[in-house]
Structure 1
Amino acid sequence: MQFVVCIKQVRDVAAISEMLSHAPRSVAIKTEEMMDLLEKTPGMMNPEDKHALEAALQLRDAFGGEVVCVSVGREDAISALKEAMAMGADRAELWTTQELDVSGSADVLATIVKERTQADLILCAELSVDASTHQLPALLASRLGMPYLNGICDISIEDQKLRVRRKLPEEIALYRLSLPAVLSISPHANEPRYPSVMGIVRFSGEKIPAQIRVEAAPEEMIKGKFFFTKTQEWTLLDNERDIEWIACEDADEKADQLLKKLNRRGIL
């Protein structure tokens, strides 16, 4: 079986937060300033993608086959794919493009899946830590004409059919799906493995390994076809909060004081 995992290169959000921590609060940052900041920020694999990759690696180990990672974006996404290879993926495909919105990314990924893979199961993250749209897996499934479920916390395969558990707010639901299908994996589904030492050694360095194929997305796929969303500015919000302590021992008195405070603030 072939398990395909969508991988995205994102900017290190922790590094960005550290850079912005010294900026004044409630100040709008223009697009040009933010883009310059992003250019200076190191990239990394979207942390949520690691749960999808771990799920694929476990399925391959249990049922056989191969894990193929697919990615769309700038050429520096190679570093994320190298990490995926070091974690145990078998090969990867990267189509380089200009920056795309989620709809454009879904179109290009769908083309990669159709032309470069023989996917039995496509696994995605629930979201990326930069855009957090939650839309790409559903859009991808729509482009491919495949069934889709999100919030998946457990997967098994029986008689060429999927048996999955989906995490809902107050319960776990059990589903059966036909293959091929698209699933987005809950971050609670597993604990992603670390890259192996041998994998790090094998896939480090400047050279692009043979297992990663890189090519430019066809111009006719992109030119004038996709709607690009563009952020005009970012506003840093003041996250400082006032804290009021209720200093008394009696639980009933604490509850009474809490209700009074909530009423004064118009919350109740």
Structure 2
Amino acid sequence: MKLFRFGEPGKEKPGVIIGEKKYDVSSFGMDFDEDFFGGNGMEELSKFLLNKEVSLPVVGDDVRTGPPVKRPGKIICIGLNFRDHAKETNAPIPAEPIVFFKATTALCGPNDNVIIPKNSVKTDWEVELAVVVGKKASYVKEADAHKHIAGYVLHNDYSEREFQLERGGQWVKGKSCDTFAPLGPFIATPEKAGNVDDLKMWLKVNGQLMQSSSTSQLIFKVPFLIHYLSQFMTLMPGDIISTGTPHGVGLGFKPPIYLKSGDVVELGIDNLGTSTQKAVAYTQPW
């Protein structure tokens, strides 16, 4: 199953993608949130879709796609989880996962504009595989981690490198600016995502290929990450885990390359679709 949400910001409705068509399933009565993922939402939605009495409206391609999860409780990110990315940033290979958070206010639709923050000169990109938690997880064994996965989704972990690395404190400051977490276009359930240990991933800026790699290069794989994180915090249904980015970020170039207003970022992961964000200058608060 492929789940997506559509409509104006803050007014999104749930939908499903069947074949090449997108359908409105708001008549199902549940949005894709903690209650949906943590309860029997997936099973009930499947039954709903099998009901031949149900007539689903088609969602046009001209309708905005929103983030596919409604108000996740946490966005947990893993840093330096590709050896080549650690090398390009002059960082040691981590012995354990590097964990940080993105504020949930950074969440936006996959094709929304990315707003360059006020006073920013080092806004950077990061294509990443993200996981949607499907079941409450605490002290989970690695062998049981798959039972806690609702699906997988494309994520661009935007970063303001000065805020992140030069302003002291934790990375969260450079990761949490508004629009810095475009998610989607859809959640692919595990059977639709394919072999998540070997998915091609890429990112372009203004048509130039910057990142090209595969999830096969992840240092810490998805089951281990779920196990590891659950030793320190309870993972709740609908939480997002973003697993890290490969080499090719702006910080890694000599000299570094950062986004400016008007730049266009395109990215994709096999079986998880593509997204496009246009960089725009900060103008006013939300």
Structure label with greater radius of gyration: 1
Tell me whether the two structures share a fold, i.e. TM-score over 0.5.
Answer: no
TM-score by length of 1: 0.27
Q: What TM-score results when the alignment is normalised by the length of structure 2?
A: 0.26
